[in-house]
Amino acid sequence: MDMFTLKQTQAHWIACCRACGHEQALPETSAAQMPVEGVAIQCERCPSQEPCVYPDQTAAAPIN
């Protein structure tokens, strides 16, 4: 089950927790490698976590 949705800004990726709604920026190193390797995410506010998240096609375009 996908616990996070991802969106891309000009500078980085942002993960939004579906359980509590918290948005957090992903680390620069993870953002750079994400399209190839995916990234593990732990919510900063609740126990939700996702072992390996990949951006989908709708998250590919940066948000202005």
Every domain of the chain and the residues it spans:
4-53
**Which has the closest alpha carbon to 48: 29, 23, 30?**
23
**Which has the closest alpha carbon to 4: 12, 31, 20?**
20
Residue 26, pLDDT score: 83
Residue 20, pLDDT score: 94
**Which has the closest alpha carbon to 14: 36, 37, 44?**
44
pTM exceeds 0.75, yes or no: no
Q: What is the mean pLDDT of each run of 10 residues along the chain (64 residues)?
A: 80 88 80 62 88 59 50
